[in-house]
Amino acid sequence: MEAVEQLESEHTGPLASGLAVTQGVFYLATGLWPIVHLRSFEAITGPKLEGWLVKTVGALIAVVGGTLLAAGLRRRVHPELMSLAAGSAASLAAVDVVYSPQRISPVYLLDAVAEGLLVTGWGVAAARRWKHRPIPAPPPRYTSPEDAAGFPT
């Protein structure tokens, strides 16, 4: 129970919270766009063969975005969520870079830049979190086997 209370009392710094809100809004908007109006989405990003697949990916991106937005607004961006955010951005950037020259619109290279900035931001946020992590006290030193066993000396 103590661990849960400690987790609930932790607030995230402004960088991680700001990144979560920014990425959350970006993902929510870009994820919902093909669901709400596929025709305008295709006008910018090029025609798609499978509308249902575009909408499915959009829904997943929107869910990640909504989760990031909620966590950022509550200032509760924990390491697992930072990993999800950075991993999502890195995955989307990789797809943008690998497939943009041959199979998808070059406009996706702009998305790759945005995703790269997010990955960089999450790297900085993780480094700051690591630098300011609480360092636990060293374990007690034992001077005799009796001390180690818990017997009174």
pLDDT digits (tens, 9 = 90+) for 29-84: 999 999 999 999 999 999 999 999 999 999 999 999 999 999 999 999 999 999 99
- Tell me whether residue 4 is in a domain: no
Cβ(125)–Cβ(85) below 8 Å: no
Residue 101: other Cβ atoms inside 10 A: 10
- Tell me whether residue 45 is in a domain: yes
C-alpha dist (Å) from residue 50 to 36, 41, 55, 106, 153: 16, 13, 9, 19, 75
- Tell me whether residue 61 is in a domain: yes
Cβ(54)–Cβ(48) below 8 Å: yes
- Tell me whether residue 139 is in a domain: no
- Tell me whether residue 115 is in a domain: yes
- Tell me whether residue 122 is in a domain: yes
User: Model pTM?
Assistant: 0.80
Please indicate whether residue 103 or residue 148 has the higher confidence score (pLDDT).
103
- Tell me whether residue 138 is in a domain: no
Determine the Cα–Cα distance for residues 105 and 100; give it in Å rounded to an integer: 6
Give me the domain span that covers residue 20. Answer: 9-131
User: What is the tens place of the pLDDT at every residue in 105-129?
Assistant: 889 999 999 999 999 999 999 999 8
Mean pLDDT score, 98-111: 87
Q: Torsion angle of alpha carbons 89, 95, 101, 102, nearest 10°?
A: -160
Name which of 45, 71, 73, 70 is nearest 58 in CA terms: 45
* Number of domains, the chain: 1
